[in-house]
């Protein structure tokens, strides 16, 4: 039976992942308001980077693999970024018809529903 | 490489090394398409999140946070095990590799069981996809149905990937036990493990969106 020791890269990555997991869980109880989603996603991105680089071993892969993943990531960033930017900067839909102050010489508009004589 | 010569490579490849490289590149290209599939779903989520942030915060606050967080730990541990399995097989320890892959599959199934328990809890509360259920009549918040529909859709799509990943690892485990996968052909387990890691990465993003923030 050969003695197997867990490679240091794997053990360190695992420890880092669980530390980030605990940090993310603990931070969800802190009331960070609107920043909480950004903080949680930033931690998630760090965890994903650790998994991709050291568990999936992208760090020691050839340039063609790195380019394949970089292209996927870049296209994804464009897709999500533009969609979110569009929705976030939209004008709110008009819920009421635009109203206009009556000019001084105009007669007051008739009450709705009351027929004018 | 003397080790590489002892195992036959496919006719159309110069060497086993080239064959392993092609297999890995093929998996990475496939993963890129998976990223685009889930990317579209994430874009949809963020669009609704921006529009109905109040409803989405209410949805997250009501979700089964502890079970979801335990499931995250389960997947992180499973990724660690399968990463160890690849290293063990590369060193020729097929027995240990088989145990570690078996452990990974068991954790994958644990994840699915916990997910099922979560779904059961939601159904008990009257939360179904599409805004169906009495929960939505009790909580008439605009956008709440969108949150739960996205939750069911995206987590079910992910659970399907966990199932496929566990199946792939099961086939690889069978090959290791039968002696068809060893030190020289460890790249096959590597390719399966890469897929498993991607499933983990997707959950790493689903967890904060649906349970934390």
* B32 → closest Cβ in A21, A24, A69: A69
Residue A31 lies in a domain: yes
**CA–CA distance, A9 with B208 (Å, rounded to integer):** 26
Q: B4-14 pLDDT, tens per residue?
A: 446 778 888 88
Q: What is the pLDDT of residues A57-79, one digit of tens each?
A: 999 888 888 888 888 888 888 88
Q: Which of B14, B175, B16, B199 is nearest to B108 (CA)?
A: B199
Q: Specify the DSSP class assigned to residue A54.
A: I
* CATH superfamily assigned to domain B51-212: Cytochrome c oxidase, subunit III, four-helix bundle (1.20.120.80)
Place of tokens 């996603």: A41
The residue segments making up the domain with residue A49 are 8-60
pTM: 0.86
CA distance B75 to chain A (A): 11
Asked, for residue A76, whether it belongs to a domain, the answer is no
How far apart are the CA of B201 and the nearest CA of chain A, in angstroms? 5
Q: CB of B77 within 8 A of CB of A55?
A: no
Domain ranges (residues) in chain B: 51-212
- CA nearest A14 in B: which residue? B80
A56 has a chain B CB within 8 A of its CB: yes
What is the least distance, in Å, from the CA of A94 to any CA of chain B? 15
DSSP string, B127-156: --GGG-SHHHHHS--TTHHHHHHHHHHHHH
pLDDT above 90 (res B176): yes
ipTM score here? 0.90
């Amino acid at each position: 039976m050969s003695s197997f020791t867990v490679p240091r890269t794997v053990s360190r990555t695992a420890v880092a992942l669980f530390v980030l997991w605990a940090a993310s869980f603990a931070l969800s109880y802190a009331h960070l308001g609107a920043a909480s989603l950004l903080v949680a996603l930033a931690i998630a991105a760090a965890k994903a980077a650790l998994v991709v680089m050291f568990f999936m071993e992208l760090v020691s892969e050839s340039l063609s693999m790195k380019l394949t993943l970089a292209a996927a990531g870049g296209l994804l960033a464009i897709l999500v970024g533009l969609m979110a930017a569009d929705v976030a900067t939209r004008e709110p839909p008009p819920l009421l018809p635009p109203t206009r102050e009556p000019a001084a010489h105009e007669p007051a508009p008739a009450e709705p529903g009351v027929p004018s004589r | 490489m003397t080790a590489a010569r002892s195992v036959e490579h496919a006719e159309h490849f110069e060497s086993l090394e080239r064959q392993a490289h092609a297999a890995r590149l093929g998996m990475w290209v496939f993963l890129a398409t998976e990223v685009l599939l889930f990317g579209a779903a994430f874009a949809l989520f963020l669009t609704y999140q921006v529009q109905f942030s109040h409803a989405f915060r209410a949805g997250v606050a009501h979700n089964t946070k502890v079970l979801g967080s335990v499931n995250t730990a389960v997947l992180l541990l499973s990724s660690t095990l399968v990463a160890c399995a690849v290293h063990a097989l590369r060193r020729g320890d097929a027995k240990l590799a088989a145990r570690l892959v078996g452990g990974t599959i068991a954790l994958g199934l644990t994840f699915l069981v916990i997910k099922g328990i979560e779904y059961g809890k939601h159904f008990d509360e009257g939360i179904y996809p599409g805004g169906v259920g009495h929960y939505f009549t009790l909580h008439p918040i605009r956008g709440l149905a969108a949150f739960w529909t996205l939750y069911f859709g995206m987590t079910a799509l992910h659970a399907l990937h966990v199932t496929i990943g566990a199946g792939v690892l099961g086939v690889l485990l069978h090959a290791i036990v039968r002696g068809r996968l060893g030190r020289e052909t460890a790249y096959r387990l590597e390719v399966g493990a890469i897929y498993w890691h991607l499933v983990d990465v997707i959950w790493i993003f689903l967890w904060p969106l649906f349970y934390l923030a």
